A and B are shown apart, each in its own frame.
Chain A
């Protein structure tokens, strides 16, 4: 393994890791507020990616003439639609179970995940769909590494969005309400915060971020498959746990770490080992440091 190869894998890992981080945001915010592992997040990521395919299809020739505008339209529309889907999911599958025993919302989120994935499979079939190559693919050569302009764009968009969410949670009134609910939902409600809406909004925000990640992922890899939400949902969850679940900057840190580690693994091991590496990271982190890199010690042990 040469130094060049190493640097190249770091760059690749950072790009894909920033996308993981974006999906991880949804897990981490929902967990931070309602203490629920939102399995549906992986399915929303996938739904966003497939909506992106549909939007690019509708834009047709326009997207090839104006690739950047086309991508922007796809990102925004897909985020809005998936945010709407997240609203429906929250309204139907989670809200009625707000006060149910803890296993119930977990099972219902799992069922929702499976429902969305199966619907996508029924509509599109089991074959992977090609993503339109919207931006020029001539990669830049910077010193020893090559970097496609699209990849740079993806990383920049993802990291800017995560910064935006961090700002939103820390500085705005809505963000303050979210943090208040995370501390104590009943007390927040007594202070006049509309907790139902804030929780719903958090779900929608997480879904929208997952959709953006889905479109970016499709553009980066050039194709989407009906079961991508399964594995990448788990990768993003791993990222959220690694960074410290409930912690917004943790999602970025975790995403980049998982991205770089699994990218490294491809140097030493055959490609299919990537999955095993992710599972191993997840199990090790949960067993050894369940609070993650940036998290405080919230996970009480039995």
Chain B
């Protein structure tokens, strides 16, 4: 154990301004290159994989609000992914709606259903919450399998008209890719701003010390409910896009395993860290897609072992969240500058 502590984040010398700038440019260029990879790699395999990465990254970003920001363990997150997907499939199949008209509806239904589930659920204490959400995920999976009239049962739903935008039909994965990317960017930006908002600061309080937060006048259940709803909405949107891209939706995508992987993405990537969970989502697809091609079912073992190792050795995740201080805002309110550089702040005690 002693030797392994070397793996933990240690304090490094502060790099010079030039190095920092060079690193930042490299990071931006690298991200752009990676995000545009489907265009220059071509074919339909790579766009498909990149869409998967994007969708899992959105799932990570959404669940990060619940787990990372508010500290609530949600083991049934993929239920909302299923809800978004089935709402889209029903609207498209039976009412001829286009994907773009359905997305807001899917988001609203995910919001409403998370409020209905969250309200009784979030009153129970933390570790019971995990079980409640697990049960909810199980019920939605069960409903997807058995409520044949709504979900098509185990065969799922398919055969709706191809979605189109301004007369341009969406057929190949490359057609969908920009929208997945846009959803990811939107999710990242919105949750980034949520974190420093009044709601986000209340979440941080609740996560750090629930009793102290209640004593400070934070309405615990209400803010937990906000976290649950504002996290679930992204799963609803991603689920609708997923169903549209696959042109099929069936219960197999929403098993308990999927919810487990979603939690793993957040913990691996770094709870609370938006860039971390995006990397976690990409990482997950790489393992699930490319590794399982060679090792078959072994990918489950590898992923579970990785998760265990991260929890034990690097609990802050691959890319830990480092709070930064908004110096402009501090100055505006006439507050003193923070005594330590943001780089010195470590979650790991």
Contact = CB atoms under 8 A, between A and B. Distances in A.
B315 interface: yes
Interface of B: 1, 67, 71, 73, 75, 120-128, 130-132, 134-136, 138-139, 142-143, 145-146, 210, 214, 220-221, 224, 256-257, 260, 263-264, 267, 271, 296-298, 300-301, 303-305, 307-308, 311-312, 315
Nearest to B347: A101
A87 interface: no
Contacts of A102: 126-127
Nearest to B260: A114
22 contacts: A37-B130, A92-B308, A103-B271, A104-B315, A107-B311, A111-B304, A114-B257, A114-B300, A114-B303, A118-B301, A121-B300, A122-B298, A234-B135, A241-B128, A276-B143, A280-B139, A282-B135, A286-B124, A299-B124, A299-B125, A300-B125, A302-B123
Contact of B131 (A104, A237, A302): A237
A288 to B, nearest CB: 9
A246 to B, nearest CB: 12
A100 interface: yes
Contact of B121 (A117, A272, A287, A300): A287
Contacts of B122: 302
A111 B121 contact: no
Nearest to A231: B138
Contact of B267 (A93, A107, A301): A107
Contacts of A275: 138, 142
Interface residues of A, number: 44
A125 to B, nearest CB: 8
Contacts of B138: 234, 275, 279
A106 B136 contact: no
Given A96-B1, A111-B304, A301-B123, A122 B131 contact: no
A286 B130 CA distance: 11
Given A114-B260, A122-B298, A302-B125, A272 B311 contact: no
A109 to B, nearest CB: 10
Interface string A119-132: 10110001000000
A111 B139 contact: no
A101 to B, nearest CB: 8
A287 B125 contact: no
A259 interface: no
Main secondary structure of the interface of B (DSSP, over half): helix
Given A122-B300, A272-B145, A283-B136, 11 more contacts: A106-B130, A111-B307, A111-B308, A112-B304, A126-B297, A230-B256, A237-B131, A282-B132, A286-B124, A287-B121, A290-B128
B266 to A, nearest CB: 9
Contact of A301 (B67, B124, B132, B146): B124
A82 to B, nearest CB: 19
B263 A107 contact: yes
A92 B267 CA distance: 18
Contacts of B267: 107
Nearest to B143: A276
Given A97-B311, A111-B264, A286-B132, A119 B301 contact: yes
A108 B297 contact: no
Contacts of B135: 234, 279, 282-283, 286
A35 B121 CA distance: 19
A300 B170 CA distance: 52
